[in-house]
A and B are shown apart, each in its own frame.
Chain A
């Protein structure tokens, strides 16, 4: 029987001698982080949003971009918020497309199940996220106008919620599978693959999505979360509770503190996304990305766009794996810049520059940039960095200027 022959064939193939693996676990981690940041940068690369690169302000608990003002709901953004079933609060004013401020944390979990706490936070202009640790919930908040409900595509037969960078940074839209209980009086939906997610309109044109832990349905045996487009996502009462307590908007907005100030660079340089590690109430940046000219996305979909130097700075913890100076390739050159010992790598074929200082005034510094003709080299950026030491109390909320 062919079936039996197939079992034999696959088994023989799989159990043959394995050659040396060409797989790197650190590279997977690095690319995952880069991909997530890249998706937060996609909005900047868009000509429309690049023209509107005005940092947003938060008013009345609703994210509204400065300079954009009120106006009609963007086409397809879902229309005005429908009132909740039981006398929900009045809808806030309508907002047009606007940007978030990547120097500010706008959202947080108001409640998490026992054993979970806020882990890391990422901000950008189009969206931001808050992850819970050790594993479980992730909250994604999109600026008004960054998501829209698409009509039913032929492929899935279901309407989709499509957001800049994809739902939860996956790069993909997610089908709306069914209505969920209203969240704070705003309409909400359960979303399928690449979910499951619980999504709700926290403000007109502004969507939030919650990724939540799932258990496989009894009997499926494969242990997969119900993430297929055909499957109905598990409707988690816990997810509804977490979403209901999420705090989004100005009420809880907290400025991010940066461990260095970059000065002497063109006024057009701006922080475009930040990775934050909360230390109690203090929002401490540990990695941030800067737009330093026209952003050009790499054609292969990998790596960072050009003109977006990435700076990673954290209090130095010598001899830890996380803070080891590792590079994408080549042999690092050891040198002293501005009195600090640094290692640098320049891969011309890949138009890539890296600089690492394991301990500069008590800070671990890593700079990564790509591009044919960057406005400043990695060395140049390092010399323009004024390091503020390892104590977050001395850090700044103005990382550039």
Chain B
């Protein structure tokens, strides 16, 4: 990393930290872990700033980097041995909605990290299947199946009825077996 690159890096990061923290929060589910994740991502980003700056969308590059770092950390021996998950982020909502949202929050927190990451990319970052696949470095099929599994788990845990109509990108759940199958 050259001095010029480090200055560019610092300028870029200073403007993006709030957005990166928000993304890290919805992945990690607590602020301490989120800040640790952002810090680790920034270290890697600084190492590879040349490539990030040369990408067509540096924001997309960094987003992918952060999500992959999240998954890498969760795969580590330390993370598998020690549960350091703190308090989930507080949400402000109408009392009528709050209970349901808190149930959903708990159900999302219980999902495997990779499924949670896929949901965040699809429903927080609003990425398409192909964009999510590019961000995670996997195939579109993997994104579809991970999304399907995650949504099915959430529905099961929340007691929702399986959907009867499916959008193009939504998972397909067999009405006969109740199992999730990839769509397309």
Which residues of A pack against B, CB within 8 Å? 1-3, 5-19, 21-29, 31-33, 35-36, 119-120, 131-136, 138, 169-170, 193, 211, 213-216, 219-231, 322
Contacts and interface: CB of A to CB of B under 8 A. Distances in A.
B42 A223 contact: no
A32 B35 contact: no
Contact of B14 (A25, A27, A36): A25
A28 B123 contact: no
Interface of B: 1-6, 8-10, 13-14, 17-18, 21-23, 25-26, 31-32, 35-36, 38-39, 42-51, 53-61, 64, 88-93, 97, 100-101, 104-105, 108, 119-120, 123-124, 127-128, 130-131, 133-139, 151, 154-155, 158, 160, 163, 170
B61 A213 contact: no
A33 B17 CA distance: 20
A29 B51 contact: no
A6 B5 contact: no
B169 to A, nearest CB: 10
Contacts of B42: 23, 25, 28
A364 B38 CA distance: 31
Contact of A8 (B2, B10, B101, B131): B101
> Which of B32, B134, B138 has the most chain A CB atoms closer than 10 A to its own CB?
B134
A12 B93 contact: yes
B92 A12 contact: yes
Nearest to B37: A23
Contact of A220 (B22, B50, B130): B130
Given A133-B4, A227-B137, A12 B54 contact: no
A225 B35 contact: no
A229 B61 contact: no
B147 to A, nearest CB: 9
A12 B55 contact: no
6 contacts: A18-B21, A23-B21, A25-B42, A35-B43, A225-B61, A229-B137
Contacts of A12: 91-93, 101
A39 to B, nearest CB: 10
B80 to A, nearest CB: 16
Given A170-B48, A219-B130, 13 more contacts: A6-B154, A17-B90, A18-B22, A22-B39, A23-B21, A23-B39, A28-B43, A36-B47, A220-B130, A221-B127, A222-B134, A228-B137, A231-B137
Contacts, number: 203
Contact of A2 (B55, B120, B160): B160
A225 B68 CA distance: 14
A224 B55 contact: yes
A32 B47 contact: yes
B2 A29 contact: no
A16 B92 CA distance: 8
A12 B138 CA distance: 28
A230 B57 contact: no
Contacts of A211: 50-51
A193 B138 CA distance: 11
B60 A222 contact: yes
Given A32-B1, A133-B5, A221 B130 contact: yes
Contacts of A5: 100-101, 104
A9 B4 contact: no
Given A11-B124, A12-B101, A135-B50, A3 B134 contact: no
Contacts of B8: 134-135
B123 A7 contact: yes
Given A3-B151, A14-B25, A28-B45, A223 B10 contact: no
Nearest to A31: B43
Contacts of B44: 32
A193 B89 CA distance: 33
A225 B123 CA distance: 22
B45 to A, nearest CB: 7
A109 to B, nearest CB: 14
A9 B91 contact: yes
Given A25-B14, A221-B130, A1 B163 contact: yes
Contacts of B36: 22
Contacts of B47: 32, 35-36, 169-170
Contacts of B55: 213-216, 223-225
Contacts of B35: 21-23
A227 B50 CA distance: 14
Contacts of B155: 2
Which 4 residue pairs are nearest across A and B when measured between Cβ atoms? Answer: A223-B57, A228-B137, A213-B54, A32-B46
A214 B130 contact: no
